[in-house]
Structure formats: structure tokens, C-alpha cells
Amino acid sequence: MTLSAIREIKAHDLPAIKSIIEAAELFPSELLDEMIGDYLTNDKSVEKWFTYDSGKPIAVAYCAPERMTQGTWNLYLIAVHPTHQGKGHGTSMLRYIEKELAAQGERLLLVETSGLDSYELTRQFYCKNGYDEEARIREFYQAGEDKVVFRKVLHLLTE
């Protein structure tokens, strides 16, 4: 597994990216067209969309800068197709994004997830990869479901 397998998403990748989103049960895949539209059509888009390509896309990640901040980014989406999970692809994608942002001089990467028990492995993934739980907003998504925000300092990656 090498970082060279990670690349920016192209328009022809959309069917495979949609299948990753569907298989991971993230959200209805038809929402992807609107989400990624600016990135694919605007060469000045600041968003970053990546895929892990092993002959075809098997993972997807999306991040963008936080408005009205300096050097703070949000990781809005990272997913590996279930048939390829547990092989380090998600960690490779995460490391690639962190290094890419750090090389650009960005400061922080934030990621949020659910506080439900069913998201425990997701939260462990971020902790194992050096993210600290920065905030917990109780009952954010719905009654009984907290939002958990994780944070990683990027400039430490370049020191």
C-alpha cells in the first residue's frame, strides 16, 4: 500500500464513489452530485476530494476550509468500501490529507462524528490516529445523539 494510490477525484470516478457511499450507508448517493459539483466544475474551488485507487476507487475523502478562520479545515467525509476495510486504506487517506494540508501551512483539521455507541469504532479510529476529542455537543443530531468533535494540530507534522 503506497500513498501514490491516493489521488484527486475526477468526474469519471463518480459511479464508483457513489457505490462506496451506498455500501458504507453514509447518505443517499444522489446527494453526491450537488456536494461535489463545485469541485468538479470550478478550477478555483478550495475543496479537496480524494480517492484511494487500487484499479478503481475504493475509498473517498472530502475536506474543506472552515469559513472565517485561518488554517482550520474540516474533514467532512472519509469512507472505505466495506469490502476493503481493515487494510489501512482509511489511515493512509487520513495521513495523506494531513500531510497535504500541513505542507500548505494549514493549522488544524477537525472532524465530527456521532456519540452513539454504534460509532465507537469511528471514534477509536480518530483517537488511534492522533486526534483529540475537543468538544461534545449533547443531543446535537437528535435527542440522545451527541456530536463529538475531534481535532488534530497539523503544524506538528512538519516539525
pLDDT reported for residue 54: 87
Interior/surface letters 150-159, b for 16+ CB within 10 angstroms, e for the rest: bebebeeeee
- pTM of the full structure: 0.90
pLDDT reported for residue 27: 87
User: What are the domain boundaries of the chain?
Assistant: 3-157
3 pLDDT above the threshold of 50: no
Q: Give the pLDDT band of residue 155 (cuts 50, 70, 90).
A: confident
- What would the pLDDT profile of 37-59 be if each residue is shown by its tens digit? 999 999 999 999 999 998 899 99
In words, the CATH class of domain 3-157 is alpha beta
